[in-house]
Amino acid sequence: MGYWCCGARIQFSIRVAALLIFTFALSAFPMVADGSTVFSNQSGYRPFLEGGYGKSLVGMDRLNTFYVYALPGENILLGSSAMGVAEGDILFSRPDGTSGSCLSEYPGLPGLGRIHSLEEEQRGPSVSGGYTPCELEVDAQNSGLWKIVFVGPSPNSWKSSAAISITQPWIQAEDVFTIAAWDITVQGQGGAEKDGRYFAEHLPLSMGDPKAPLFLDLYVVTGDGYIYEVGYE
């Protein structure tokens, strides 16, 4: 089992749906915002994050789950291209056991946390040209590990987004369970971003087409601690 995380060293377990299924432990992408920008800085076609309920045909969860470590005084900034689109939402569970969602946390602002474009995705949260995040404040009671789940616009659907080039501007469809862009950023006091604060044990991705190429430079970490650099083409 691998872990996918952001920062200087990344490891993860990844499934590319529609067609290719494989497991990696990955590390090391420099980034400004954390999330789908890891992939938008690569070449090939865009991997869409799966945000659907139930199991795939091979028995794997179609719903993503991320774990975020945050300390008192820090903020967790969240964004998704599916936020507020149909049933699209971002769910969270606090370390104290309580839970909520961005829609319930900010009921009068359904578009808060929405990433509208490729430019906003690449610029990140709370900057000129970036997106306005769903912001979760971390107090002493909720210091520790948060659970984050990105839900797609139609989580009960089996329809995925159509394949597009990684550099092509995307449009978030309403009738799919996949998410074009997503972001998790931990922000410290004074606005400094904290790298290396989230991971996933399972990262479900869809390429949208079995012929869509995916090009990634990966570091594969084995269970006994060996690290291998792998170019996936």
* pLDDT, tens only, 43-91: 789 999 999 999 877 788 999 999 999 999 999 999 999 999 999 999 9
In the three-class reduction of DSSP (H, G, I as helix; E, B as strand; rest coil), residue 122 is classed as helix
> Side chain identity at 140, as an amino acid letter?
A
- Check if the beta carbon of residue 205 is closer than 8 Å to that of residue 144: no
- Check if the beta carbon of residue 16 is closer than 8 Å to that of residue 8: no
Averaged pLDDT for residues 26-42: 57
| Maximum CA extent, the chain | 49
Angle at 64 between CA 36 and CA 35, to 5 degrees: 15
Averaged pLDDT for residues 9-31: 32
Stronger pLDDT, 18 or 151, i.e. the higher one:
151
What is the predicted pLDDT for the residue at 216? 67
What is the predicted pLDDT for the residue at 82? 97
pTM for this structure? Answer: 0.83
Summarize pLDDT for 179-206 with one digit per residue, the tens: 999 999 999 988 889 987 887 778 788 9
Quick one: pLDDT band at residue 16, thresholds 50, 70, 90? very low
What is d(CA 202, CA 155) in angstroms, rounded to the nearest whole number?
A: 17
pLDDT, averaged across the chain: 82
**DSSP per-residue codes, 33-47:** SSBTHHHHTSEEBPP
What is d(CA 213, CA 163) in angstroms, rounded to the nearest whole number?
A: 10
Buried b (16+ CB within 10 A) or exposed e, 42-53: bebbbbbbbbbe
Predicted confidence (pLDDT) at residue 8 exceeds the cutoff of 50? no
> Side chain identity at 74, as an amino acid letter?
E
In the three-class reduction of DSSP (H, G, I as helix; E, B as strand; rest coil), residue 119 is classed as helix
